[in-house]
Amino acid sequence: MDTITLIPKNNIDMPIEADVISPDVFANKTLDEIKSLLVWQGNTRVPLSEFFEIKGENVPSKEPTIVIDGDVSKVKYIGSKMSSGKIIINGNVGLQLGSEMEGGEIVVNGNADSWVGSEMKGGKIHVKGNAGDYIGNAYRGDWRGMKGGTIIIEGNAGNNIGGGALKGEIIIKGNVGQFCGINLRGGKIVIGGGAERNVGAEMIKGEIIICGTIDKFHPGFELVEEVDGKELGLDGTFLKFTGDNSMKKPKGVLYASKEHNKHLIGLESRTENYIIGKNKIEAVFNSGSTIVQGAIIKGGDKFTKEYIEVCAVCHIHPDDYNILGQPQKVRISRKGYGVVVRALPDDDLQRGNVFIPRSIWANVVADPYTEGSGSPNYKGCKVIVEPASDDEKILSAEEILESYGVK
């Protein structure tokens, strides 16, 4: 197997998109042909040889190994869609490494930027250092993330690890940030260290293992039993949770180290303790975009009657709706802030959970603390839900703004 070596020159002053750096693309090409391959820098296509010194035998190879000696932290899409062969990077690497990868192997002897293995289908990516956000994640605008393969990060990684993954395995041996395994639909995520908050939010299927401490636990999970770590191939005892119960018929499983998460041992089922008075519950609040709500926003008008009918509504499990006395309207409140919306029984929800479409009505009660994410916490905060009186009206978006002094 022949080796093609790329040595970065000192003129990569702005990012380049180099999906041509792939064994699939290099296959059956002479060295001169490889040097002539075009990459994007800004809106200009430039030969690969402008940025790299390229060495190797000037004889075509069916499956060359690519070795990159040096820092390529401003080079994106290396190994994108590759199906076979091997890439070795001796240095740091930029965004979108191995995106949509189908096979082969990539080894990084350094750190990797965000979006490693985005929507990959197969193969293996091994980063010996740290990595950024969105590892094995779905691209923005899609919910289908990693579909197969293996990603191993020896160090730490950032936020939204494995978002929307359907299959495959992600192993992070260090710590991770927020929303690890968000919207997980399958596959397995193993975190050797700790996680910041909201692990497994909107998880439906799959498995997440956290060997360290979960700083802020997502309330949509229910503790079911303790498990010997040997069953997971790990040491110690683990707490087994199921969820996310804010989703319809969830089958996700979350394991958390008992030793590092003793604060979770006494966690009870929401169905046992969320009724706090006659016609009054303390529920887990969730918000998000819906198809109809999104269509109205795309139309450009948030001040229509239709928008109020679609968004000023609280979806509630039928059992909870009966506990509240089957009201037409409910008041949702949190820490002194409240909003009145229409009550809608919805058996797609779990008991003890409510959902308001993402809108100004949801914003009133959403947790405003962004924790560095740039967005309020629309998932998992606790709210009080009770019937609204007859004289309490559902305010329009303009009226809500006026009530807070916004003109």
Tens of pLDDT along 25-48?
999 999 999 999 999 999 999 999
Residue where a domain terminates, one of 237, 267, 297: 267
Q: Which amino acid is at 365?
A: V
Residue 326 lies in a domain: yes
Q: List, for residues 137-159, the tens digit of each pLDDT value.
A: 998 878 789 999 999 999 999 99
Q: Tell which residue, 128, 5, 139, 122, has the closest CA to residue 61.
A: 5
Residues 125 and 60 in one domain: no
Beta-carbon count within 10 A of 318 CB: 13
pLDDT number for residue 267: 57
Residues 238 and 190 in one domain: yes
> pLDDT confidence of 271, banded at 50, 70, 90?
very low
Give CA–CA dist 346/404, Å, rounded.
31
> pLDDT confidence of 407, banded at 50, 70, 90?
low
Residues 262 and 293 in one domain: no
Residue where a domain terminates, one of 232, 267, 302: 267
> pLDDT confidence of 270, banded at 50, 70, 90?
very low
Residues 212 and 281 in one domain: no
Beta-carbon count within 10 A of 48 CB: 19
Residues 242 and 138 in one domain: yes
pLDDT number for residue 350: 81
Instruction: Find all residues with CB under 8 Å of 46, minimum gap 6, and list them.
Output: 16, 38, 39, 40
Q: Could you give the C-alpha distances from 56 to 37, 60, 210, 245, in angstroms and in order? A: 16, 10, 44, 56
Backbone phi, psi, residue 250, to 5°: -70, 145
Q: Which amino acid is at 253?
A: V
Residues 159 and 258 in one domain: yes
Give CA–CA dist 147/166, Å, rounded.
5
- Residue identified by tokens 């046992």 is 272
Residues 29 and 135 in one domain: no
Residues 53 and 158 in one domain: no
Give CA–CA dist 293/290, Å, rounded.
5
In the chain, how many domains are there?
3
pLDDT over threshold 80, residue 1: no
Q: Which domain holds residue 134?
A: 114-267
Residue where a domain terminates, one of 86, 104, 122: 104
pLDDT number for residue 402: 87
Residues 138 and 216 in one domain: yes
Beta-carbon count within 10 A of 298 CB: 7
